[in-house]
């Protein structure tokens, strides 16, 4: 049996160590070579962060007074006689702006028509008083006719009633005496006396009835005549009143006043006189006489693109800045009205590349500090509306 020597064992172990070291070195070299040969990993591409939602709508705009600038005109072909205002004056609704050249003539016509109406009313009053007096006189005569005759008729009726009672009593006595005469208790003479007295009462009764009929007939005739006099006087008064053409004079005065009003130019509303278009002695044209605007409250009319107008709401805050340095501070305001029509833009950007034919909606913004731009009507401005 061969027993290895220690030296041989050591030599064997050393060989294995060398082999293991070479293998480890080869494996490491392989990994390094693989890293050199293999393509690098693709770079990590980060997705861009989402853009924040728009919190403001930008637009171009113009400054104008509340209710826009209006042109106050008048009848064309008429000349201005005199102006009652100057540029910069603040006028109230209904105040006189100007008088036309025909004012004096129309004023004279109005005064003449007014005098005609006054005269017609005075004549009417006098005729009415006269007619009423005549009617009253006729009514008095009617009463004078009616009352006495009525009393006379009533007296005659009383007499008739008395005679009728007397006749009734006489007939009773006659019947009694007739019975007594047949029985021979009285003489024929006494009976004949009672018969004669009865017939006398009947005659007086008949005469009284005839007189009553005559009185009633006379009263009826007199009343008819007196009433006819009353109606005649009323008709006379009505005819006299109709001949006085008060209504016609009143209509003439209304026409004259209407013509006069056309020669006086009044302010249709409160506002400042921004520009005088037609001066005294000049003919009024279609451009009007003056331009008027309520500069005590200024607005900005922003032309918002149709693609942005859906984000705008009434009550949103807005800021306004000058495009050309006409004012330094930043103005603030509130959206008060959003238009309902789409127009071609009127305010053009200074950038030549800007869209000169954009479609916009007008948004009106009430300014909080109006007085600082009261003299800057139609100034172009930049507008930002907070739509967050």
Domain that holds residue 182: 107-252
Q: What confidence tens digit (pLDDT) does each residue in 357-386 have? A: 679 999 999 999 888 899 999 999 999 999
Reported as a pLDDT band with limits 50, 70 and 90, residue 300 is very high
**Are residues 221 and 114 both part of a single domain?**
yes
In the structure encoding, which two tokens stand for residue 343, read together?
């127009």
**Are residues 241 and 193 both part of a single domain?**
yes
CATH code of 361's domain: 2.40.30.170
**Are residues 233 and 288 both part of a single domain?**
no
**Are residues 345 and 213 both part of a single domain?**
no
| Whether the predicted model's global pTM rises above the 0.95 cut | no
**Are residues 374 and 288 both part of a single domain?**
yes
**Are residues 211 and 112 both part of a single domain?**
yes
**Are residues 97 and 124 both part of a single domain?**
no
3-state secondary structure (DSSP) of residue 367: strand
Say what percent of the chain tops pLDDT 90: 41
pLDDT (average), residues 180-195: 82
**Are residues 314 and 348 both part of a single domain?**
yes
Q: What confidence tens digit (pLDDT) does each residue in 203-235 have? A: 988 998 998 898 888 878 877 888 888 888 778
3-state helix, strand and coil shares in percent for the chain, rounded to the nearest 5: 50, 25, 25
Does 48 reside within a domain? no
Does 195 reside within a domain? yes
Does 112 reside within a domain? yes
**Are residues 321 and 295 both part of a single domain?**
yes
276, 83 contact by CB (below 8 A): yes
Does 46 reside within a domain? no
**Are residues 61 and 31 both part of a single domain?**
no
Q: Does 141 or 4 have the greater pLDDT score? A: 141
273, 91 contact by CB (below 8 A): yes
CATH code of 130's domain: 1.10.287
Name the domain count of the chain: 3
Instruction: Give dist(CA 289, CA 80) in Å, integer.
Output: 9
**Are residues 217 and 337 both part of a single domain?**
no
Reported as a pLDDT band with limits 50, 70 and 90, residue 195 is confident
Backbone φ and ψ of 72, nearest 5°: -90, 115
Instruction: Give dist(CA 138, CA 42) in Å, integer.
Output: 131
- ∠ CA 171-175-180, nearest 5°, is 145
Does 260 reside within a domain? no
pLDDT (average), residues 63-67: 92
**Are residues 290 and 378 both part of a single domain?**
yes
Counting Cβ atoms within 10 Å, is residue 234 exposed (0-12), middle (13-18) or buried (19+)? middle
């Amino acid at each position: 049996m061969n027993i290895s020597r220690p030296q041989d064992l050591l030599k064997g172990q050393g060989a294995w160590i060398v082999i293991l070291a070479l293998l480890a070195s080869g494996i490491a070299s392989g990994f390094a070579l693989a890293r050199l040969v293999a393509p690098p990993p693709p770079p990590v591409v980060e997705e861009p962060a989402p853009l924040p939602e728009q919190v403001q709508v930008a637009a171009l705009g113009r400054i104008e007074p509340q209710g826009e600038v209006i042109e106050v005109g008048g009848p064309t072909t008429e000349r201005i006689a005199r102006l009652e205002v100057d540029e910069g004056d603040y006028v109230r609704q209904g105040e006189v702006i100007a008088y036309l050249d025909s004012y004096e003539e129309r004023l004279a016509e109005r005064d003449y028509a007014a005098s005609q109406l006054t005269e017609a009313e005075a004549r009417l009053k006098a005729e009415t008083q006269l007619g009423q007096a005549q009617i009253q006189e006729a009514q008095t005569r009617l009463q004078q006719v009616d009352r006495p005759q009525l009393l006379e008729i009533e007296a005659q009726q009383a007499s008739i009633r008395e005679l009728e009672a007397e006749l009734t009593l006489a007939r009773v006595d006659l019947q009694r005496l007739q019975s007594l005469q047949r029985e021979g208790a009285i003489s024929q003479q006494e009976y004949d006396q009672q018969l004669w007295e009865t017939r006398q009462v009947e005659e007086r009764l008949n005469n009284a009835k005839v007189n009553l009929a005559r009185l009633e007939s006379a009263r009826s005739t007199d009343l008819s005549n007196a009433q006819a006099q009353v109606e005649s006087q009323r008709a006379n008064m009505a005819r006299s009143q109709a001949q006085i053409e008060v209504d016609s004079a009143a209509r003439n005065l209304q026409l004259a006043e209407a013509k006069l009003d056309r020669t006086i130019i009044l302010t249709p509303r409160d506002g400042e006189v921004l520009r005088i278009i037609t001066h005294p002695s000049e003919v009024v044209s279609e451009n009007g006489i003056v331009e008027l605007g309520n500069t005590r409250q200024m607005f900005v009319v922003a032309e918002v693109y149709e693609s942005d107008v859906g984000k705008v709401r009434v009550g949103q805050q807005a800021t306004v800045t000058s495009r050309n340095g006409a004012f330094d501070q930043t103005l603030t305001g509130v959206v008060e009205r959003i238009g309902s029509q789409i127009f071609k833009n009127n305010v053009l950007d200074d950038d030549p590349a800007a869209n000169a034919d954009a479609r916009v909606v007008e948004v009106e913004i009430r300014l909080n500090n109006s007085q600082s731009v009261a003299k800057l009507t139609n100034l172009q401005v930049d507008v930002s509306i907070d739509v967050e």
